[in-house]
Amino acid sequence: MTPRAHLVVGGFPPGEPAGHDMDFARLSLLRCLGEHADGATTVANDFQDLERWLDGASLLVTYVAGPFPTGAQIEALKRWLHDGGRWFALHGTSGGRAARIDGGRRRMVREAHHETLGCFFLNHPPVRRFEVQVRAGHPLTAGLPPTFETVDELYLVEPIGASETLLTTELPQDPSPPGFGFQYDADAAAPPDGKTRALGHVKDVGKGSVAYVALGHCHDPRSNSQPFVDASAAADGVTPKTFRGSWETPAFQTLLRNAAAWGCAR
């Protein structure tokens, strides 16, 4: 059977961008898969009928802000991974359902898919400039420099279980202004050394693998929900109406190309 990829890109509620330029992400990922992965690509906005689309697929790519697999969907995903499937998850895939709490703030809710993914999103400070450190020796990081600079949402991601860290950055503490973003009780993303945070990892699941990369925020004037950005991203603190961030860096494009080839390699 010819290798096939399945791409899930979408926000919540269904049809809403959820603060991201989903059309840009969808088209960019489709173009990358078309050029660097073997076989065709099927496309969905969420995880409905996931088992149907995973049947015969070798690679699952997800860029979502809200949708996440539940119930029979997550069970189908785990079976597929154990049988040798590979899941490349980007950016908001580590999030999912947010619950309203006192004062109108929101808190992310840990769900079953976080265990499979190997991480859980807590929060991110305003869009900022930061350096990413790269761990060589894995097909996903082939051709990347030891470090690269980007402007993006710097995710605070709590690791879950054992995995191989591929991308890190240094951030001693969450610099978010009071009341910004999502509420959390403790910074479970804080590392033992007090500064080095994981931004990407890969883990084995049965015969298959899961890789996650936290980078990749993008928005356009219709989808922008960023109230302001850090001075390191824009001196005036004004949010760009159209933002591509990491998507415009050679390093991120290399990561995407590597992921397409990795997902179809056996």
What is the per-residue pLDDT across 182-200, written as a single tens digit (0 to 9) for each?
Answer: 999 899 988 888 899 999 9
Residue 105 has pLDDT above 90, yes or no: no
SS3 content of the chain, % helix, strand, coil (to 5): 25, 30, 45
CATH number assigned to the domain comprising residue 203: 3.40.50.880
Quick one: CA torsion of 40, 25, 76, 121, rounded to 10 degrees?
Answer: 160
97, 126 in Cβ contact below 8 A? no
| Average confidence (pLDDT) over 79-90 | 97
Phi and psi based region of residue 134 (left: phi greater than 0; alpha: psi -120 to 50; beta: remaining): beta
The total number of structural domains in the chain stands at 1
Percent of the chain with pLDDT over 70: 99
Rounded Cα–Cα distance for residues 41 and 26 (Å): 11
Least confident of 192-196, 246-250, 259-263: 192-196
Q: Give this prediction's pTM.
A: 0.97
Angle of the 250-264 helix axis to the 22-36 helix axis, nearest 10? 60
User: For residue 2, what pLDDT band results from cuts at 50, 70 and 90?
Assistant: low
In the predicted model, is pLDDT for residue 163 greater than 90?
Answer: yes
Range of the domain at 123: 5-264
pLDDT tops 90 at residue 101: no
Residue range 67-76: mean pLDDT, rounded: 97
